[in-house]
A and B are shown apart, each in its own frame.
Chain A
Amino acid sequence: DQQVKQNSPSLSVQEGRISILNCDYTNSMFDYFLWYKKYPAEGPTFLISISSIKDKNEDGRFTVFLNKSAKHLSLHIVPSQPGDSAVYFCAASALGGSNYKLTFGKGTLLTVNP
């Protein structure tokens, strides 16, 4: 039962353009969402998060949008840079109950071409 889904295993964009990474979730108890970036041979690093009380959170070139009714979130990277090439994981958590562990999607490999 995959509660967090990243349906695109890979995405390729040109440097300077926008990268949009998508994530869907099924568990309505999730109320906090995070994006992590992972380079090969390194552990994931936290990128940006959003609480369910918001619909947008911005940090520099990175913006996360949350559509609760659609159970969908997306990460926008503008402008994309070659150094952004990595695997991006979407994760979700909920306060209380049995859902409080972080549940990750399978990741999307972003390649930014110079």
Chain B
Amino acid sequence: KAGVTQTPRYLIKTRGQQVTLSCSPISGHRSVSWYQQTPGQGLQFLFEYFSETQRNKGNFPGRFSGRQFSNSRSEMNVSTLELGDSALYLCASSLFGTSGHNEQFFGPGTRLTVL
């Protein structure tokens, strides 16, 4: 079974621009969660989508948004990029989502650098 894939793997943007990251979950998984990883903060939860609906959201500003398509693929968008948005963005998929105890499988991440 193919794992979670994320595209692109690396991205360089400048302040003020916007960016869209893509995540394809494991086949059959209906939940996709997004996390931001920075050296000082560890993994911070952004949001979770399940069956095309945002089911949970972390404490990030509205510049961070996402969506999920009917095939469970998900995109994350960051508008008006700031230097502090430079991070590794990780996507994770699971069968039932973060509600209920089931394992999340992570993709390799997208390394975003904002100049």
Contact = CB atoms under 8 A, between A and B. Distances in A.
Nearest to A97: B99
B101 A32 contact: yes
Nearest to B108: A43
A89 B43 contact: yes
Size class of the B contact interface (CB-based, 8 Å): 20 to 34
Contacts of B58: 101
Interface in B2-48: 4, 33, 35, 40-45, 48
A95 B56 contact: no
Given A44-B90, A95-B100, A104 B106 contact: no
B113 interface: no
Nearest to A104: B43
Contacts of B4: 43
B106 A100 contact: no
Contacts, number: 61
Contacts of A44: 43, 90, 106
A83 B84 CA distance: 32
Contact of B98 (A89, A100, A107): A100
Interface string A98-112: 101111111100000
A106 to B, nearest CB: 3
B99 A95 contact: yes
A43 B106 contact: yes
B108 A102 contact: no
Contact of B42 (A32, A41, A42, A105): A105
Interface in B77-104: 90, 92, 98-101, 103-104
A45 interface: yes
Interface of B: 4, 33, 35, 40-45, 48, 56, 58, 90, 92, 98-101, 103-109
Interface of A: 6, 32, 34, 36, 41-46, 49, 51, 89, 91, 93, 95-96, 98, 100-107
